[in-house]
């Protein structure tokens, strides 16, 4: 199973990172001015770093937790690095 491999050898992790990069290049510009990440690093950068560091399963779990913490109460520019 791919998720049991080391993070740098996971095909799903690599595909996920490429998909997020594609979003950053093509999707993010369409949302400029309407959507703004409250955290530093941005949620997409956080997700890429988490998946690269921990693999697809734990990386996506950390991403989900990060997204669930994002509320209007979080000030813009709040630092929240990958553990």
Give the start-to-end residue ranges of the domains of the chain: 2-79
- Is 78 strand, coil or helix? strand
Write down the mean pLDDT value for the chain: 94
Confidence tier at 29 by pLDDT (50, 70, 90): confident
Residue 20 clears pLDDT 80, i.e. is over it? yes
Secondary structure E strands in the chain: 39-40, 78-79
Tokens of 36: 């703004």
For residues 80 and 7, give the distance between their C-alpha atoms in angstroms, rounded to a whole number.
Answer: 21
Over residues 42-54, the mean pLDDT reads 97
Three-state DSSP state, 61 = helix
Its pTM surpasses 0.85:
yes
Q: Which helix (H) or strand (E) holds 39?
A: strand 39-40
């Amino acid at each position: 199973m791919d998720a049991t491999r080391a993070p740098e050898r996971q095909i799903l992790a690599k595909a996920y990172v490429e998909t997020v990069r594609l979003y950053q290049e093509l999707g993010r510009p369409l949302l400029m001015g309407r959507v703004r990440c409250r955290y530093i690093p941005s949620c997409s950068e956080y997700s890429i770093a988490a998946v690269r560091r921990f693999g697809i399963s734990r990386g996506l779990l950390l991403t989900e937790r990060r997204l669930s913490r994002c509320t209007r109460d979080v000030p813009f520019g709040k630092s929240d690095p990958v553990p």
